[in-house]
């Protein structure tokens, strides 16, 4: 999925929340951890496509290789020569705080009172401007990026405490927001998850070593054994003495996993909150059919993220399921600005209708979300031109009415169509015959969130922590280093 960056380019024509980031940490006794981290990042590529990087330790030094682009574009065989050692962390990025700049590519390497440290993070630290000022004033930290991850890195590298778990807990007391972080010193691999568990993180075993990753699908690709999710407020420290885990005593026990992980972000073969994502999405479609039934001939999904939900809708409604749109899976970030004629084609660059299947049919079209409303009218128009008789739009997420400050790039309130128009106005705008959104109660019934185990702030405005409503992803840009120029991609 394309990313909306600050450098001039074609805006994102695909109307979904944009990815967050993916992290991986590897402790592989006797092995080359950086190569394992590479394949872990490859499995997490869907979480971000702006930049990627790996930091590795050979027990004496930490080396980092990070660049702009996709994982497979960034790493070639010679790039692994310096990345030796049995300890490594990796990151693939979509910018949620800080521009798409090379200086913001992670892992970030910093020096502090506790020595040299590399760190990568998935999430947003909403009090990072204040913490950054504090670190500059109290510890004389010199920042080289415009991302909140460097704030976390410097805080951990300078944190007081007799061991790394204590230092991670010191950070937890200071940090507000969402984070699933991995960190590396010359002799230690660490990981921590915020006390609410807003961003995902899981733990696995591989050949006597340990793997930590944003999603369990990364463990599967590596042949690792999935053990469990990292608990909210848990700090993991792995070194030559073994595996050590402690949970911060300050956590309340409340959980607030981002519900959009189950709706859209996570790969369908991942396990989140103890559930297979694919099965949850099918049940979301079934619940959508119960809430918004309609007489129709075919159910189709917007590929690929809505396919499971469309199958669930079809099974529950008894309406046959069929593919109706074929996705060009190689449409993504482009290094070539298309000419105006190609821009005007818009969605057709990504989707092509199966005309013989949908001509003359009454369609239920299932999508995972509508954010700005920029894509859906074009999809509806594409299906009408292909001969669809009726189009009944069904969305397996409630109306998105509030921006996210916890690590998802979801537009501001003025850009959110559901915050400014009624459901009927949106239906008219997108050109559908009917429009139905899954309700918040129905969503929580499916995901098991009746006890407040999920963050649903983008639907309800009930943020799990207090937020500054004017906070933007570029909040740290005023202190941009002089040599930090936007990537040309």
Strands, E assignment, 69-131: 87-93, 108-112, 115-125
307-310, long-range: CB within 8 Å, 24+ apart, which pairs? 308/268, 308/278, 308/281, 308/282, 309/281, 309/282, 309/284, 309/285, 309/366, 309/368, 309/396, 310/285, 310/364, 310/366
Distance (Å, rounded) from C-alpha 91 to C-alpha 70? Answer: 11
Q: How many Å separate Cα 400 from the centre of its chain?
A: 17
Which neighbouring-strand residues pair with 234? 247
Closest C-alpha among 95, 54, 308 to residue 189: 54
Q: How many Cβ atoms are within 10 Å of 321's Cβ, its own excluded?
A: 20
Could you tell me the two tokens for 190?
Answer: 């660490």
DSSP state, residue 413: G
- 82 vs 120: CA distance, rounded Å: 19
Output Rg (C-alpha) for the chain, integer angstroms. Answer: 22
Note whether 395 and 434 are within 8 A (CB): no
CB atoms near residue 472 (< 10 Å) = 12
| Catalytic member of 21, 141, 258, 455 | 21
CB of 161 closer than 8 Å to CB of 246: no
Q: Locate tokens 């050949």: which residue? A: 207
For the chain, the first-to-last Cα distance in angstroms comes to 15
Residue 141 annotated among the catalytic residues of the structure? no
**Phi, then psi, of 221 in degrees rounded to 5:** -65, -25
Distance between CA atoms of residues 267 and 25, nearest Å? 19
Among residues 116, 65, 59, 64, which one has the least CA distance to residue 239? Answer: 59
**3-class secondary-structure state, position 258:** strand
Report whether 122 contacts 47 (CB < 8 A): yes
State residue 108 phi and psi, 5-degree precision: -100, 140
Angle 321-324-329 from CA coordinates, rounded to 5°: 115
H or E stretch covering 235:
strand 234-239
Q: How far apart are CA 359 and CA 388, in angstroms?
A: 5
CB count within 10 Å of CB 462 equals 12
Are the beta carbons of 339 and 310 closer than 8 angstroms? Answer: no
Enumerate the active-site residues.
21
């Amino acid at each position: 999925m394309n990313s909306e960056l600050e450098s001039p380019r074609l805006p994102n024509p695909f109307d979904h929340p944009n990815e967050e980031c993916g992290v991986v940490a590897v402790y592989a006794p006797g092995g080359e951890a950086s190569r394992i981290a590479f394949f872990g990042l490859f499995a997490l590529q869907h979480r971000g496509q702006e930049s990627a990087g790996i930091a590795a330790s050979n027990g004496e030094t930490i080396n980092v290789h990070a660049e702009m682009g996709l994982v497979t574009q960034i790493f070639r065989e010679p790039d692994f020569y310096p990345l030796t050692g049995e300890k490594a962390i990796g990151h693939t990025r979509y910018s949620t705080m800080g521009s798409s700049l090379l200086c913001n590519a992670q892992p970030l390497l910093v020096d502090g009172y506790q020595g040299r440290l590399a760190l990568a993070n998935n999430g947003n630290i909403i009090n990072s401007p204040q913490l950054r000022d504090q670190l500059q004033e109290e510890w004389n930290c010199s920042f080289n990026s415009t991302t909140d991850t460097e704030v976390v890195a410097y805080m951990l590298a300078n944190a007081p405490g007799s061991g790394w778990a204590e230092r991670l807990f010191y950070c937890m007391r200071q940090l507000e927001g969402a984070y699933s972080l991995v960190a590396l010193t010359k002799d230690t691999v660490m990981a921590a998850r915020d006390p609410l568990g807003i961003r995902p993180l899981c733990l696995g075993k591989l050949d006597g070593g340990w793997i930590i990753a944003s999603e369990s699908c990364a463990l599967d690709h590596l042949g690792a054994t999935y053990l469990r999710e990292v608990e909210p407020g848990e700090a993991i420290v792995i070194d030559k003495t073994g595996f050590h885990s402690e949970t911060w005593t300050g956590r309340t026990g409340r959980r607030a996993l981002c519900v959009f992980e189950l709706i859209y972000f996570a790969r369908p073969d991942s396990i989140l909150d103890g559930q297979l994502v694919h099965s949850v999405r099918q049940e979301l479609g079934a619940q959508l059919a119960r809430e918004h039934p309609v007489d129709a001939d075919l159910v189709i999904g917007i590929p690929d993220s809505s396919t499971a939900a469309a199958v669930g809708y079809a099974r529950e409604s008894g309406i046959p399921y069929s593919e109706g749109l074929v996705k060009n899976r190689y449409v993504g970030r482009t290094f070539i600005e298309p000419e105006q004629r190609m821009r005007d084609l818009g969605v057709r660059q990504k989707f092509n209708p199966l005309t013989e299947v949908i001509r003359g049919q009454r369609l239920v079209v299932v999508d995972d979300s509508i954010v700005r409303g920029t894509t859906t009218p074009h999809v509806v128009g594409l299906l009408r031109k292909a001969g669809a008789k009726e189009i009944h739009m069904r969305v397996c997420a409630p109306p998105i009415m509030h921006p996210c400050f916890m690590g998802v790039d979801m537009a501001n309130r003025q850009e959110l169509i559901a915050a400014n128009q009624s459901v009927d106005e949106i239906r008219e705008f997108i050109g559908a015959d009917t429009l139905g959104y899954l309700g918040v109660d129905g969503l929580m019934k499916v995901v098991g969130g009746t006890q407040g185990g999920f963050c649903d702030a983008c639907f309800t405005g009930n943020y799990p922590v207090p937020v500054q409503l004017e906070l933007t992803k570029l909040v740290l840009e005023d202190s941009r280093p002089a040599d930090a120029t936007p990537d040309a991609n």
